[in-house]
C-alpha cells in the first residue's frame, strides 16, 4: 500500500469509525482475498461496530498493494460509496512536503567557494557565525561505567507507580484432541513461579489457563485497550506450544488449545503506540516459553525416544510443532513493513528461533526456572537486559543441570539458548521492596 493511501485511511479513520457499516463487508473482504476467515473472525470479536471498524482500518494497511483500491470497490458495492469518495479525496489532498533547506555547514560552503572562485560572495559573509563559547551545548551523557550512568533518570524508565503495571499470564496446558498437540505437563509449575515473582515485583497479575486462540486474542485485546495512563509498564507471559511463522519484526508463533497459531508479531503489535496509546513511551515486556521450531540443538545425535537418554529430572518434552506457511499471497513483504516501529518493546524467547524449547514434568521449563532464579537474585540491583544476559550465561554452564541450556544424560546432551528482541530506549529496573 502506498504511503498516501495509508495517510488517507488514517485521516479518514474518525469518519469511518463513525459511519462504516462493517457487517456487509465481511464476505466480500474474504472473497476478494484481503482477509482470511480467521482474520475476519478476530476482527468481528473486537467489540462494538465502531471497534470493529477501527481495527479493520488499522489492519487494512497491512494487506498489500491492492488493498486500498479493492476496499474502495467493496465500499461502492455495499452502498457506501460516499466513504469511498471521501478516501479518494483524502488521497488527492495529501500535502506536498516542502523542499528541505540546504543543511550543509556554513564553514564548508565558504571553503568550497574560495577554492572554486577564489572570491567569497557578500551574502556568504553576511551570515553570522556564532563563536564557540556562544553555541548551544549538547548535555553531556555520563560514561557507561560511571555510577551516575547506572541509575541516571534520563537513562532509566520511570517506575514509580504501585502497582507498576498489569501482568497477563496465558498458560496453555491441555490441548484439544484435534490439535495433535500434547499436554504440557510442568507448565503449571512455570505459571506459579512467574505469578509469584511478578506479584513480588509489584505487578497486578492475571492468569488465564487453557484458552483457544481466539480467547487468547480477546484477552490480549482486552489488556491492550485498558487505560494504562496511571501505570508505568505492561508484561505479557505466554506458556504454550509454539511454531515458526512468517514475520518481519518478531519471529515465532504460539498455539491456542484448539491448535490454531497466533504470530508473536501480531501479539506484540496489539500493544504498540498506534493500538495502545496509554502505553506510549512505556516499556512493554513479553516473555515467551514456547518452541521456535522443530530443530533440536544437540551436542551429537540423540534418539529422544530412547529411555536411556532421559535427563535426571525425568523425560524431556518440547513445545514444538511444524511450520506451516500461510495460504495464498496476501501477505506480501510490503504488506507488513508498514507496521509502526516497535519502540519500548522487549520480547524474550525461551529459545533461538527455529529451535525446540525443553520442559520437564516435575520442575517446569528450563527457561522459566532460570529466569525466575535470576529475577530473584538480581532484580534489586541490575537492569533487565543485564539479567537476561545472566540467563544466557547460565545457559552455557555445563555443570548446572536442569538450567536453560543443558540437561546432561548418560548418552546425550540437549542444548537450549534463550534470546531477546530488544527495542527498549532506556534501561529497565524493576520496582523492588
Q: 207: which strand partners? A: 169
SS3 content of the chain, % helix, strand, coil (to 5): 35, 15, 45
Instruction: Quote the Cα angle for 198-204-206, to 5°.
Output: 90
User: How far apart are the C-alpha atoms of 44 and 46, rounded to whole Å?
Assistant: 5
Q: Which residues are catalytic?
A: 241, 291
Q: For 125, which DSSP code?
A: H
List, as one string, the DSSP characters of 310-360. Answer: -BTTB-EEE-B----PPSSS-S-GGGTTTSPP-TTEEEEESS-TTB--EEE
C-alpha cell at 242: 509454539
First to last CA, the chain: 49
Could you give the CA distance from residue 171 to residue 306 in angstroms, rounded to a whole number?
A: 29
Assess contact for 324 and 243: CB atoms under 8 A.
Answer: yes
CA angle 9, 273, 353 (to 5 degrees): 105
Contact 233, 285 (CB under 8 A): yes
Q: How far apart are CA 55 and CA 50, in angstroms?
A: 9
DSSP structure class, residue 140: P
Cell of 120: 567569497
Q: Count the Cβ atoms, other than its own, within 10 Å of residue 32.
A: 15
Q: Which of 234, 237, 268, 221 is nearest to 172 (CA)?
A: 237
Report the C-alpha gap between 15 and 50 in whole angstroms: 10
Judge whether 186 and 317 are in contact, CB under 8 Å: yes
Amino acid at each position: 500500500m502506498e504511503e498516501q493511501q495509508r495517510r488517507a485511511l488514517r485521516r479518514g479513520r474518525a469518519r469511518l469509525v463513525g459511519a462504516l457499516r462493517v457487517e456487509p463487508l465481511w464476505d466480500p473482504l474474504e472473497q476478494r482475498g484481503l482477509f482470511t476467515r480467521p482474520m475476519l473472525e478476530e476482527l468481528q470479536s473486537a467489540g462494538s461496530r465502531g471497534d470493529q471498524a477501527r481495527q479493520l482500518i488499522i489492519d487494512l494497511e497491512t494487506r498489500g498493494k491492492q488493498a486500498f483500491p479493492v476496499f474502495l470497490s467493496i465500499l461502492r458495492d455495499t452502498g457506501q460509496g460516499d466513504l469511498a469518495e471521501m478516501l479518494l479525496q483524502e488521497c488527492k489532498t495529501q500535502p506536498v512536503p516542502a523542499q528541505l533547506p540546504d543543511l550543509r555547514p556554513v564553514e564548508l560552503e565558504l571553503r568550497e567557494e574560495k577554492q572554486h572562485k577564489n572570491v567569497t560572495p557578500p551574502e556568504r559573509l553576511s551570515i553570522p557565525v556564532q563563536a564557540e563559547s556562544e553555541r548551544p551545548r549538547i548535555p553531556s551523557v555520563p560514561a557507561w561505567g560511571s555510577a551516575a550512568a547506572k541509575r541516571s533518570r534520563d537513562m532509566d524508565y520511570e517506575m514509580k507507580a504501585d502497582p507498576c503495571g498489569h501482568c497477563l499470564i496465558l498458560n496453555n496446558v491441555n490441548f484439544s484432541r484435534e490439535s495433535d498437540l500434547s499436554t504440557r505437563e510442568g507448565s503449571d509449575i512455570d505459571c506459579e513461579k512467574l505469578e509469584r515473582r511478578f506479584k513480588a515485583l509489584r505487578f497486578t497479575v492475571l492468569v488465564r489457563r487453557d484458552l483457544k486462540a481466539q480467547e487468547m486474542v480477546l484477552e490480549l485485546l482486552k489488556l491492550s485497550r485498558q487505560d494504562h495512563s496511571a501505570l508505568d509498564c505492561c508484561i505479557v507471559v505466554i506458556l504454550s506450544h509454539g511454531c515458526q511463522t512468517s514475520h518481519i519484526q518478531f519471529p515465532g508463533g504460539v498455539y491456542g488449545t484448539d491448535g490454531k497459531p497466533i504470530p508473536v508479531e501480531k501479539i506484540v503489535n496489539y500493544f504498540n503506540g498506534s493500538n495502545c496509546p496509554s502505553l506510549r513511551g512505556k516499556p512493554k515486556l513479553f516473555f515467551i516459553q514456547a518452541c521456535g521450531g522443530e530443530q533440536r540443538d544437540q551436542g551429537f545425535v540423540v534418539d529422544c525416544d530412547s529411555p536411556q537418554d532421559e535427563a535426571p529430572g525425568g523425560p524431556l518434552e518440547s513445545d514444538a510443532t511444524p511450520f506451516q506457511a500461510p495460504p495464498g499471497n496476501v501477505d506480501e513483504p510490503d504488506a507488513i513493513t508498514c507496521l509502526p516501529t516497535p519502540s519500548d518493546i522487549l520480547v524474550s524467547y525461551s529459545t533461538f528461533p527455529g529451535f525446540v524449547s525443553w520442559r520437564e514434568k516435575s520442575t517446569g521449563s528450563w527457561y522459566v526456572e532460570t529466569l525466575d532464579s535470576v529475577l530473584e537474585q538480581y532484580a534489586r540491583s541490575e537492569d533487565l537486559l543485564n539479567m537476561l544476559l545472566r540467563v544466557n550465561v547460565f545457559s552455557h554452564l555445563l555443570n548446572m543441570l536442569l538450567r536453560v541450556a543443558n540437561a546432561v544424560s548418560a548418552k546425550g546432551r540437549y542444548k537450549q539458548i534463550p534470546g531477546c528482541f530488544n527495542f527498549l530506549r532506556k534501561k529497565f529496573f524493576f520496582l523492588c521492596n
